[in-house]
Structure 1
Amino acid sequence: MRYYPAAIALSMLAAVTASVGQARDVEPADPRVNTLLASGEAQLSAGEKNAAIGSFESALALDPGHVATFVALGNAERSNGMPGKAIHYYREALSRDPNNVSAISGEGEALADKGALDRAKGNLARLEGLCGKTCDASKALAATIARGPMPRVVSAESVKPEPKVESN
């Protein structure tokens, strides 16, 4: 009985400490981040992929923990044909917010682009558990998986022409 108040105090301390550790900063600390994100999205929709990546990286420099910036960078790298880099950024976003629907969907689409369809299907199952089969992210990921991997780029070194000797 005499340990009862101390046990309650310790359990309250543990609960408060755990909830503070799980708190997420939804809005960036610096308002310039939103401006850079909007600018990057406009550049990306205009087809200026490298300029958009530059804007997103500037936003990341201002607020290194903002999840939306990592998702935007992943989207830009994926549209730039770099699914490996995109997966890196999506995983950074998921390490900060494990249930971020955009990051799960983006990572699944990048995995499908690389040909890792089984892992992309795992992301689809996780996504369907979070938002259902009818949400836009689930539909987009299912369509990307159905489409299959992106065609591989062939390098000039891998294609060797047959030598042909002709007489004049």
Structure 2
Amino acid sequence: AFIGIARAYDALALPGRAIRYYREALALQPNDLGALEGQGKAMIARGATARARVNLDRIKTLCKGECPAAKRLETALAAPPAPVLHPIASNEPTRPVVTKD
């Protein structure tokens, strides 16, 4: 369930929340390759490539050879950096400025 929620947040471009739910999934199943990969990709989206590399190393240790999860995360790490996503400062809607002309 946690991985599903994390993937939904990934799809909504909310990597910070996705990381949180991947962390919950990994607390239950620390060797889940899908959760490690997903969390790594979400970390990349947040600009935390060093932390994503820790996940990649963990995946490689678990696979003990070639595995698709490691290859996909390596590819994501090698890609040009995407703009770092930052949380929105406020959830309040902005109001238009009304001027009298």
TM-score by length of 1: 0.48
**Aligned residue number for residue 67 of structure 2:** 135
Q: Give the greater-gyration-radius structure (CA).
A: 1
Local SS of the residue matching 2:82: coil
Local SS of the residue matching 2:30: coil
Q: How do 1:119-134 residues align onto structure 2 when only pairs under 5 Å count?
A: 119-134=51-66
- Unaligned ranges ≥5, structure 2: 89-101
| Identity rate, percent | 39
1:70-124 deviation digits (Å, cap 9, x = unpaired): 1111112112100000000000000111111111111111001111011100100
1:112-143 deviation digits (Å, cap 9, x = unpaired): 11110111001000000011452111111111
**Aligned residue number for residue 79 of structure 1:** 11
Alignment equivalent of 2:21, drawn from 89, 110, 129: 89
Q: Is the 8 A contact 1:109 1:141 kept in 2?
A: yes
Q: For this pair of structures, how many residues does the alignment match?
A: 87
- Unaligned ranges ≥5, structure 1: 1-68, 156-168
More helix by share: 1
**Aligned residue number for residue 106 of structure 1:** 38
Q: Is the 8 A contact 2:40 2:73 kept in 1?
A: yes
Which structure has more relative contact order (CA 8 Å, sep 6+)? It is: 2
What is the CA–CA distance in structure 1 between the aligned matches of 2:54 and 2:85, rounded to whole Å? 26
What is the CA–CA distance in structure 2 between the aligned matches of 1:106 and 1:129, rounded to whole Å? 17
What is the CA–CA distance in structure 1 between the aligned matches of 2:10 and 2:30, rounded to whole Å? 20
The alpha-carbon distance between structure 1 residues 114 and 152, as it changes in their structure 2 partners (threshold 3 A), is closer
What is the CA–CA distance in structure 2 between the aligned matches of 1:133 and 1:147, rounded to whole Å? 22
What is the CA–CA distance in structure 2 between the aligned matches of 1:79 and 1:147, rounded to whole Å? 19
